[in-house]
């Protein structure tokens, strides 16, 4: 006998707003939630005194069954910078070492940064329609380098788990900043 949760289900995704219906789980990340992740701490302090902006929001919709649980996520990163560094997600690596993920850029432009624990680094350029496979054991962060909202979908297994510590401690090898109107990558000095 199948249980209720084991029947196929569909939800609705609205491309323009980047929102699901029904919405089960919503998280807002403001500058104060990730203040240590930006290089320019003078700019961080100045921003926080003014209240701190919302950097990004994400919604997740777990499809739970009695056997295996997938999650659909959508993240909306605001356009903006802290100092000269573009708004980005905190970034994480999966707790389980056998768990990949797929990201799909729906709107906006930027980069997906990927990194192994051994320090291998890769950046994928994103435009609307880019779909990236994140293999197991690669940490991942998305940076919005455009002037509009960057919206991306994520598909992963609920059991993957989120480990934020390695990124909180050492960041990614490269930061994405604006210099003279250009988007450039500069090394994070914790890696040199």
Stretch that binds ligand M6P, among 4-12, 90-98, 123-131, 169-177 (CB under 6 A): 90-98
Query: Which candidate, 179, 103, 110, places its Cα nearest to that of 148?
Result: 110
Are the C-beta atoms of 74 and 19 separated by less than 8 Å?
A: yes
Q: C-alpha angle with apex 155: 152 to 156, nearest 5 degrees?
A: 135
Query: Which candidate, 161, 154, 153, 169, places its Cα nearest to that of 97?
Result: 161
Under the binding rule (CB under 6 A), the answer on residue 20 touching ligand M6P is no
Least gap, CB of 153 to Zn ion (angstroms): 12
- Report what 96 binds from ligand M6P, Zn ion, none; CB cut-off 5-8 Å by kind: none
Under the binding rule (CB under 6 A), the answer on residue 86 touching ligand M6P is no
Could you say which of 57, 75, 82, 113 contacts ligand M6P (CB under 6 A)? 75
Could you say which of 57, 59, 101, 109 contacts Zn ion (CB under 5 A)? 101
Are the C-beta atoms of 128 and 108 separated by less than 8 Å?
A: yes
Could you say which of 76, 85, 91, 138 contacts ligand M6P (CB under 6 A)? 91
- Report what 175 binds from Zn ion, ligand M6P, none; CB cut-off 5-8 Å by kind: none
Question: CA torsion angle for 119, 136, 130, 167 (degrees, to 10)?
Answer: -40
Structure tokens at 182: 């250009």
Under the binding rule (CB under 6 A), the answer on residue 92 touching ligand M6P is yes
Structure tokens at 68: 């295996």
In sequence order, what are the beta bridge partners of 104? 131, 153
Under the binding rule (CB under 6 A), the answer on residue 171 touching ligand M6P is no
Interface contacts to ligand M6P, rule CB under 6 A = 58, 73, 75, 89-92, 154, 156, 162
């Amino acid at each position: 006998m199948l249980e209720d949760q084991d029947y196929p289900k569909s939800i609705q995704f609205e491309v323009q707003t980047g929102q699901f219906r029904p919405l089960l789980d919503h998280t807002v990340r403001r500058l104060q939630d990730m203040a240590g992740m930006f290089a320019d701490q003078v700019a961080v302090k100045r921003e926080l005194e003014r209240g701190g902006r919302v950097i990004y929001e994400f919604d997740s919709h777990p499809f739970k069954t009695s056997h295996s649980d997938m999650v659909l996520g959508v993240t909306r990163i605001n356009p903006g910078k802290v100092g000269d560094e573009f708004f980005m997600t905190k970034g994480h690596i999966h707790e389980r070492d056998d768990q990949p993920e797929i990201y799909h850029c729906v709107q906006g432009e930027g980069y997906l940064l990927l990194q192994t624990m051994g320090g291998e680094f890769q950046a994928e350029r994103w435009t609307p329609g880019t779909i990236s496979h994140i293999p197991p054991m690669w940490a991942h962060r998305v940076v919005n380098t455009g002037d509009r909202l960057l919206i991306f979908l994520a598909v992963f297994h609920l059991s993957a788990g989120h480990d934020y510590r390695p990124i909180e401690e050492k960041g990614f090898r490269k930061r994405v900043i604006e210099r003279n109107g250009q988007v450039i990558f500069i090394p994070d000095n914790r890696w040199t």
